[in-house]
Structure formats: structure tokens, C-alpha cells
Amino acid sequence: MNEAPAYNSSYILGISLISALGGYLFGFDFAVIAGALPFLQQQFGLTVYWEGFATGSLALGAILGCIVAGSVSERYGRRPGLLLAAAIFGISSIAMALAPDRNAFIAFRFVAGIGVGMASMLSPVYIAEIAPAHLRGRMVAINQLTVVIGILVTNLVNYSLRNHGDDAWRWMFGLGAVPSLFFVIGAFFLPESPRWLAMVGRTEQAAKVLGKIGNRAYMEEGLGKIRESMGGSSAKGGTPRASYADLFKKAMLPVVLTGIVLAVFQQLCGINVVFNYTPKIFQSVGVSQDGQLLQTIFIGGINLLFTIAAMLLVDKLGRKPLMLIGAGGLAVLYIVVAVMLGKGSPDVAWFLLAAIGIYAMTLAPVTWVLISEIFPNQIRSQASTVAVLCLWAAYFVLVFTFPILFEKFKDYTFYIYSAICFAGLAFTWLKVRETKGKTLEEIGDVFSVH
């Protein structure tokens, strides 16, 4: 009787947590600017333009980071890419803390964005390539959980430092070096992705890594499926490195476009304007400054609670149902939000919190799970690079345009986001296929055209 595959769950969890530290640092750099901006405005005399550019420079750096991550991870492996991202996080945190002027600070924040972009692509891809099929959604969702924890912890640290003088902002940024150091140390102990090892012909090393993740039956089954997905070429010295032109071939284009649309939709669905412009939104309905700050705490708590719920559901309920719930739920809630804003009602807070909860449980983690798993092994690095690059570009468009739209259209802005969500609902229903419980190789066959 053949031995059934078995798994080393504690080992899988450990390496997933280490690689997900990239998500924590992503959350740190995303959130730290909010608490630091009042100090930066005084320190460097920031105008509205420079305030926006200082904030958005992170996204611009992240776009470059996606390109760097794709090149590094394809040529040298996923683990070296994670190590480089960790080093960039640490160096940029200290550099921002010591920035002598506005231009230097923005340049260093741009560099921090490179680390954010690298981690946002590599951490979920690495976890997806390490985790067995039945655990993959939950393990990749750990990355989103660490992003949320990073945001919440950073907000609490910023709040505790608010009365520490004019240089409090330097401590806010400088403290990012602490988790960065843990990330660097932890990344040294990570194994390389077995799928990348097999792809470059290092089959024996791939087998050893798979043997640590599970028993011999799992190792043999996993290696066989990897070889099959590559046409057996991993045993002949490695597959030829895919190019970005390969993404546009008939067999690959449908899945690549699906990944890009999902990535762009996750941002253009509009929820990040609630995170980034909470005071502006609540000020428009007459909420006091203390009330605005209280809402940010509620938003952080709801975000964390429902991200945990997502981890419990993603491998049980499935990816597609959660995406449909997220798109449909936000589409309806935004209509209610628009009506409440039009009436100037502070009760809009309840519906914005509901929107945060739905997003945190659905589109936020599940999009990253899908991006990390739907692409075939041969093009995963390149396709993930393009998808996440488009995600960051969409984020920049969203946060740049919201103040303009809100100034001109006020509450009607949320009708625009509702329409986008209805479009996302239709796309998910028609084009996204369920991936729950399937190996990465099986998913590649489902999404590709042969």
C-alpha cells in the first residue's frame, strides 16, 4: 500500500511567518507617514503638493521594486530577493530618520518603496511555492495579516510618540530598522523555493526542501508534478528562462490578463481612500478631530479582526466566493455611503466600517492569494511582477485622484467606486475559476489555454 503524503505543519508555518515579515514592513511603511506628516510639514515646510508627493513616492518606488524583484527572483532565487528587500527596508528606515531636508527624505522614502514593492511581490509568491495545496490560501493570507498588524502597531507607536518633540517623526521612521533586522536574520534560515530550484535544474536540492515540508510520498508527488508542469525539462539542466514576451503568447495571455485585472481591481475598488483619507471623509460630515482619530482606531481593529476571519475561510469557502462577496458587498455599501455623506450623517461611520470589514475578509487577502498561485510555474515570476506593478500603479492613481474627485463631486465619488465594484463582480463571476485545494501545477493547467 502506497504511503500517503504527510506534512510538517510547524515547519511550513515557521517559514511562512518569516517570509511574511515582508508584509509587516509593508504595513509599517504604508502607515508611518500618517503619524509623521504633521511633523514633516513643520520640519520641511511642506506644501499640499509636496505633502502628496512625499506620501505617494512610496508607490512610485514600489513600482520599481516589482521590476527589481522579478529580475532578482528569476535569476538568483526567491530567498535572495527577500534578503535584499529586508536590507532595503532597514537601510531606508534609518536614512529617512536621518534625512536632512525634504528632497533627501522623499528620495529615501522612494527607496523604501522599492523594498515594499519587492516584498509585496515576493512574500506571497514564496509562500505559495512552499505551502502544500490544502494550506496555501491560509499561509499566503498570513502575509496580509502581517500587513494589517504592521499598520495597527505602527499607528499605536506613532500615537505614543506624538508628544516627544519636533523630532518625534525621526523615531517613527527609525524604529522600522528593528523589524527589518529580524527579517534579515530570519531570511537567512529560509530554504529556497523548490519550484525555482527545479526550474533551474537543481532537482536534488528541490527534493530536499520538499522532504522537509512533507514526507517522502509528498516529496515524490510534488517533484513529479513540478517536472510534469515543465515538460520534464527540470531534469535536463533547467528550463529556459521565460521572457516578458512569453506573457503575451496565446497559452499564457488569458491568465496574465486575469491577474492584472484582479490586481488593478483590488485598488480601484476604492477602499484605500478610507484608510488614507479618514479625517477628510469624516470632516465632511462634521465629526470632530478627536472623533476622526477614534475612527482610525476602529478601522484598524475591524481590519485586523476580519483579516483573521479571511484566514479561516480562504481554504474552506474558496477564493471565488470570497471575491464575489467582496465585490458585491462593496458595490452596495458604497451606494449607502454616498447617500449618508450626501445627508451629512455621522452614521456613515457604520457603513464605512462594514466596507473595511468586507474588504479585509475578501478582496484584500484573496487577491494576493490568487496573484501568487494562478500563474504557471514557467512564468510565475514575470507574471507576478507585471500584476503587482499594475496594482501599485492603480494604488497611485486612486490616492492621487480621490482629493480631486471628492472636491468636485463630494459624495458622488463613491458612486464611481460602486460602479467599479459592480464591474469587478461581473469579471470575477465570468473569468475567475476556483483554485481551492489544487496544486500550483493543476491551477496552471486550469487557467492556461492549450
- Band of pLDDT at residue 4, cut at 50, 70 and 90: low
> Which residues sit opposite 7 in a β-bridge?
214
CB under 8 Å to 289, separation ≥6 — which residues?
A: 279
The angle subtended at Cα 449 by Cα 446 and Cα 450, nearest 5°, is 105
CA dist 61 and 105 (Å) reads: 13
CA dist 342 and 210 (Å) reads: 57
* Cell numbers found for residue 76: 538568483
pLDDT at residue 105, as a whole number: 94
* Cell numbers found for residue 9: 505543519
pTM check: above 0.85: no
At residue 416, φ and ψ (nearest 5 deg) are -65, -45
CA dist 294 and 217 (Å) reads: 53
- Band of pLDDT at residue 88, cut at 50, 70 and 90: very high
Model pLDDT for residues 163-175, shown as the tens digit of each residue: 777 788 899 999 9
pLDDT at residue 236, as a whole number: 46
321, 318, 320: which is closest to 436 by C-alpha? 318
pLDDT at residue 394 greater than cutoff 80: yes
Per-position DSSP letters for 335-401, written without gaps between them: HHHHHHHHHT-TTHHHHHHHHHHHHHHTHHHHHHHHHHHSS-GGGHHHHHHHHHHHHHHHHHHHHHH
Structural contact between residues 146 and 43, judged by C-beta atoms closer than 8 angstroms: no
pLDDT at residue 234, as a whole number: 45
pLDDT at residue 210, as a whole number: 82
Model pLDDT for residues 404-418, shown as the tens digit of each residue: 888 788 888 999 999
pLDDT at residue 383 greater than cutoff 80: yes
Model pLDDT for residues 193-222, shown as the tens digit of each residue: 888 888 888 888 888 888 888 778 878 777
pLDDT at residue 93, as a whole number: 93
Kindly list the structural domains of the chain, giving each domain's residue range(s) and its CATH number in brackets, ordered by start: 8-238 (1.20.1250.20), 244-450 (1.20.1250.20)
Model pLDDT for residues 210-253, shown as the tens digit of each residue: 888 877 887 877 778 777 666 544 444 444 556 777 788 877 88
Lowest mean pLDDT among 33-42, 314-323, 324-333, 345-354: 33-42
* Cell numbers found for residue 95: 536614512
pLDDT at residue 107 greater than cutoff 70: yes
